[in-house]
Amino acid sequence: MENLILLEKEIEGTGEVSGLKYRQIRVSDTAYLYEVSRDGIIVCFEVFERKNSAMCVDFEKRIYSETEFKETYPKSNSFGVWAWCYFKLASALEKFNSL
């Protein structure tokens, strides 16, 4: 991989997660741990494996770059597969450390 765009440390939720704020609290070579909050109150912690995908250079023709990649935040159907949600930081850290 020649060029990889990393996930942002702070992310504002959009669409079905509008109103949520995500703050990266841990990162390793294999995983991320984000704190999820709404109106300043911590809702949960999300732990997920680091994954990336090729950048799209032409949406209409579905052409993807062979040298430009970006890390991806999991979608809702990724949870339970390569992403997990925890209500306690200790549980999230345990999962993070196992990845």
Q: What is residue 68's predicted lDDT score, i.e. its pLDDT?
A: 87
DSSP letters of 12-50?
E--GGGTT-EEEEEEE-SSEEEEEEEETTEEEEEEEEE-
Name the nearest CA neighbour of 93 among 34, 6, 22. 34
Q: What is residue 2's predicted lDDT score, i.e. its pLDDT?
A: 64
Q: Which tens digits make up the pLDDT trace of 60-73?
A: 988 888 888 899 99
Q: What is residue 1's predicted lDDT score, i.e. its pLDDT?
A: 52
* Of 23-27, 55-59, 68-72, minimum mean pLDDT range: 55-59
Q: What is residue 63's predicted lDDT score, i.e. its pLDDT?
A: 84
Q: What is residue 57's predicted lDDT score, i.e. its pLDDT?
A: 83
* 82 pLDDT above the threshold of 60: yes
